[in-house]
Amino acid sequence: MIRIFIGFDPRETVAYHVLSHSIHARASAPVSVAPLMLSQLDGVMTRERNPLQSTDFSFSRFLTPYLCDFDGWALFMDCDMLVLDDIAKLWALRDDKYAVMCVKHDHVPEEDIKFLGAPQTKYEKKNWSSVMLFNCAKCTALTPDYVNSASGLDLHRFNWLGDDSLIGEIPHEWNLLVGYDEPIPTQEVSNLHYTIGGPYFDDFKDTDYADEWMAEKNAMLRCDQLDKAK
């Protein structure tokens, strides 16, 4: 079973469902998808919202190993994504010598504001934590106490590992940053990340790869009707 946790924010509910659909529609192996909803983490996720926090799952993502009882592997993904490939291919890249695996972006955003007026923060390892393969047994530092008290920089820069050699790398096509990375043919992309703002927001309805996201939403909403004339 491929275990996947997707960050959930009520303002992007449709994004969560479209991403989940895109995963299931292309997966060649059984997949379990769970939303990281703060309403379901009452008593576990207790830290107050930070003014620099752009989504509800800015910090809850790091509870993934805890929610798996620090056992096996699990995948975390931001909700503002669209998977265009078989997620089993990403799952097959798991390497037990690492504690976590991600796309190691060299990303320094120029803008100060992103979707819905959220602040655009700049820090080392920016966007590395947006797609993470967790080797949960090697992430025991990520207890609820630590996730609720550590600084955002300590969490997102993987300081909890104490050793960057424990961070493995996955191919760039599994976290293509829409609006930053040069657009390439969709057949060369495995996962689109609408990190500035997805096409479900009016301000970003014409962003790169907007048509692909809208097509996926329409496919998700498909409801075939019986021919009542028969």
Q: Kindly list the domain boundaries of the chain, sorted by start residue.
A: 2-220
Instruction: Output the pLDDT for position 119.
Output: 55
How confident is the model over 10-44, as pLDDT tens digits? 999 999 999 999 999 999 999 999 999 999 999 99
Q: Residue 218 pLDDT > 80, yes or no?
A: yes
Distance, in Å, from the CA atom of 126 to the CA atom of 11, rounded to the nearest integer, reads: 22
pLDDT at 5: 98
Pairing state of beta strands 176-177 and 191-193? parallel
Name the range with the highest mean pLDDT among 54-63, 66-75, 218-227: 66-75
Q: Nearest to residue 213, comparing CAs of 199, 195, 196?
A: 199
Q: Which two tokens stand for residue 98?
A: 């690492």
Binning pLDDT at 50, 70 and 90, where does residue 229 land?
Answer: low
pLDDT at 111: 54
How confident is residue 228, by pLDDT bands cut at 50, 70 and 90? low
Segment 188-216 shows an average pLDDT of: 96
Q: Is 24 exposed, middle or buried (0-12, 13-18, 19+ CB in 10 A)?
A: middle
So what's the pLDDT on residue 34?
A: 98
pLDDT attached to residue 106: 83
**Residue-averaged pLDDT of the chain:** 91
- Residue 230, pLDDT > 60, answer no
pLDDT tens digits for 67-100? Answer: 999 999 999 999 999 999 999 999 999 999 999 9
**Amino acid 124: pLDDT:** 78
* Predicted local confidence at residue 194, as pLDDT: 96
Percent of the chain with pLDDT over 90: 81
- List the end-to-end C-alpha distance of the chain, in Å, as a whole number: 41
Could you please state the CATH topology (level 3) that the domain comprising 2-220 is classified under: Spore Coat Polysaccharide Biosynthesis Protein SpsA; Chain A (3.90.550)
pLDDT at residue 126, as a whole number? 82
Query: Residue 123 pLDDT > 90, yes or no?
Result: no
Contact 99, 135 (CB under 8 A): yes
With vertex at residue 181, the alpha carbon angle to CA 175 and CA 187, rounded to the nearest 5 degrees, is 65
User: How many CB atoms within 10 Å of residue 30?
Assistant: 9
pLDDT confidence of 50, banded at 50, 70, 90? confident
- Rounded Cα–Cα distance for residues 70 and 124 (Å): 26
Average pLDDT over every residue of 164-192: 96
Q: With a cut of 70, say whether residue 127 has pLDDT above it.
A: yes
